Amino acid sequence: MTTIPHWINGSPVEGTETAPVFNPATGAEQARVVLGDASDVDSAVQAAATAFESWSESSLSRRTQVMFAFRQLLVEHEEELGRIISAEHGKTVDDARGEITRGREVVEFVCGLGDVLKGSFSDQVSRGVDVHNFRQPLGVVAGITPFNFPAMVPLWMHPMAIATGNTFILKPSERDPSAANFVAELYKRAGLPDGVFNVVHGGKPTVDAILTHPGIEAVSFVGSTPIAKYVHEQATARGKRVQALGGAKNHAVVLPDADLEFAATHITAGAYGSAGERCMAVSVAVAVGGAADALVEVLERKARGIKVGPGDVAGTDMGPLVTKVAQERVENAVGVAAAQGATVVVDGRGLKIDGHEDGFFTGPSLLDHVTTEMDAYQEELFGPVLAIVRADSLDQAIDLINANPYGNGTALFTASGEAARRFQRNIKVGMVGINVPVPVPMSYYSFGGWKDSLIGDSPVHGPEGIRFYTRPKVVTTRWPQPAQQVTAGFNFPTSN
Catalytic sites, residue numbers: 279
Strand order in the sheet with 18-23: 2-4, 28-34, 18-23
Could you give the count of Cα atoms lying within 13 Å of 75 in the half-sphere of its Cβ?
9
Looking at the DSSP bridge assignments, the partners of residue 419 are: none
The rounded distance, in Å, linking the Cα atoms of 283 and 437 is 11
SS3 426: helix
Classify strands 385-391 and 365-368 as parallel, antiparallel or unpaired: parallel
Q: Burial-class residue 312 by CB neighbours within 10 Å (0-12, 13-18, 19+).
A: middle
Is the alpha carbon torsion for 370, 371, 372, 375 positive or negative? Answer: negative
Is the Cβ–Cβ distance between 148 and 247 less than 8 Å?
Answer: no
Task: Choose among 456, 367, 451, 459: nearest CA to 410.
Answer: 451
Q: How far is CA 456 from the centre of its chain?
A: 16
User: Per DSSP, what are the bridge partners of residue 471?
Assistant: 136
CA angle (75 as vertex; 155, 141 as ends), nearest 5: 20
Residue 107: CB atoms within 10 A of its CB come to 23
Residue 454 burial (C-beta neighbours within 10 Å; 0-12, 13-18, 19+): buried
